[in-house]
Amino acid sequence: MLHMYASATVGDLGRGVGADHCPVGTNAAPQPEKCAKGLISAPADLMEFVAGLPGREAARVLGLSKGSVGRLRQGYWPDDPRKVLQAWERYKASRGVVASGWFLRKVYAGGQVRHAGHAYTATGLAARTGQLLAVSRSADGGLLAQTLDLPAERLSLTQLGAPA
C-alpha cells in the first residue's frame, strides 16, 4: 500500500480523518452532567447585601429575578451560580467597592502628603519628595504610610492645620 503514495506530492495525499469520524475513536472522559460551576456557597458580602435590602430592591439593583433573590435570602445557592456571581461583580464594579484600604499618594515639596482634603507630614518625608507612598487608616484613626521606594519605612502621618 505504501508504494501507491511513493510518487504522490503532498497536495495529492488525501485529507486525514479525525478520531470523531472513526468508528472506534478515542475521546476524553465525559463531563458529569451536574457538577458545580463556581463557588460552593454564596460570598458573605453578597449575602449581607441581599439581607440588608428589600427583595424587590435587591433584585432591581442586581438585575436578577425576585425569585432568585428570595431563594438567596433563604440560603439556597444554585449549582450553576455564574449568573448570580456576574451580577454581584457587576454591581460591585459599578459602585467602586474598594477591596483594599490602601491609597497611593505622592510626597510633595516640604514632605507633605495630601489625603482626603488634608495635608499630612512625618519625620523624614522631605527627603522623599516626588516618591509615592501607600497610605491607609491605622487602628487609632490616624494615617499610616508605607514607603514604596527603598529603604522601606512605615511612618505615622500627622495632620498639618486646616483642610488644603
Pick from 15-29, 69-83, 85-99 the range whose average pLDDT is largest: 69-83
> If you average pLDDT over each of 20-34, 63-77, 147-161, which comes out highest?
63-77
Q: Cis (ω within 30 of 0) for the bond into 54?
A: no
105-114 pLDDT tens trace? 999 988 899 8
**63 pLDDT tier (thresholds 50, 70, 90):** very high
**Beta strands of 86-161 (E only): which ranges?**
103-108, 112-115, 118-121, 132-137, 143-147, 154-159
